[in-house]
Amino acid sequence: MELFLNATSPYARMVRIIVMERGLADTVTLRWCDPWADDADLIRANPAGRIPALITAKGTTLSESLLIALYLDSFGQAEPMLPHDQLEQVLHFTGLGQSLMDAAFTTVISRKHQDSEADGGVLGQRRWRGIRRTLDQLEGELPTPQPTSNVTLGDIAVAVALDYLSFRLPELTWGNSRPQLKAWHHTVCSRDSFRQTAFA
């Protein structure tokens, strides 16, 4: 399989972590690219020109990080990241993580393209309120409290989103008033899969 990615995309990082957690690193070739430069190979694989994109062993391209996650969960030896007996909970946290990621990423991209609405406009303010509310909710209801052995998709989505906030929007200092979430994040991020894929 081949995975198109870069080192700053939270969506691509989530998929890369899943590849590692499922013990698939040797079967997935990483195709580093710049999606913003209309990389020709990426566009051939995914006409939307977005990462992550996974080309399966049969040559089918999968896009959208959560769909790729679903696909990869059927490979490898590790415990499922979407266990049936915890499905609702895991999907709940996956949604919170993905929403955080979407709001943070949209803010970053809006700023980059000098959109005056990025932070102060109606949409920008709505995004910031959503980010703060989601963080507050996560402080009150952590994903898997001690994800020491198996991580779920919810753990990965939330932890990557938090890391992305620290990386791109450090002024938010989300951990300052959320000690439980900060400690939880620290535990998850000490895993090899997180350490080896740190944003750069």
Ligand X SMILES: N[C@@H](CCC(=O)N[C@@H](CS)C(=O)NCC(=O)O)C(=O)O
List of residues contacting ligand X (CB under 6 A): 9, 11, 35-36, 49-52, 64-66, 105
Decide whether 64 or 73 has the Cβ nearer to ligand X: 64
Question: In sequence order, which residues have a C-beta less than 8 Å from that of residue 20 and are 6 or more positions away?
Answer: 192, 193, 196, 197
Shortest Cβ distance from residue 142 to ligand X (Å)?
Answer: 23
CA dihedral sign of residues 21, 22, 26, 31:
negative
Shortest Cβ distance from residue 49 to ligand X (Å)?
Answer: 5
Shortest Cβ distance from residue 55 to ligand X (Å)?
Answer: 15
From residue 172, alpha-carbon distances to 21, 39, 52, 130, 165 in Å are: 29, 32, 26, 13, 8
Decide whether 34 or 117 has the Cβ nearer to ligand X: 34
Q: Give the separation between CA 148 and CA 132, rounded to whole angstroms.
A: 27
Decide whether 9 or 94 has the Cβ nearer to ligand X: 9
Q: Are 197 and 16 in contact (CB under 8 A)?
A: yes
Question: In sequence order, which residues have a C-beta less than 8 Å from that of residue 176 and are 6 or more positions away?
Answer: none
Decide whether 9 or 134 has the Cβ nearer to ligand X: 9
Query: 26 is written with which tokens?
Result: 């040797």
Shortest Cβ distance from residue 23 to ligand X (Å)?
Answer: 22
Decide whether 66 or 142 has the Cβ nearer to ligand X: 66
Shortest Cβ distance from residue 146 to ligand X (Å)?
Answer: 27
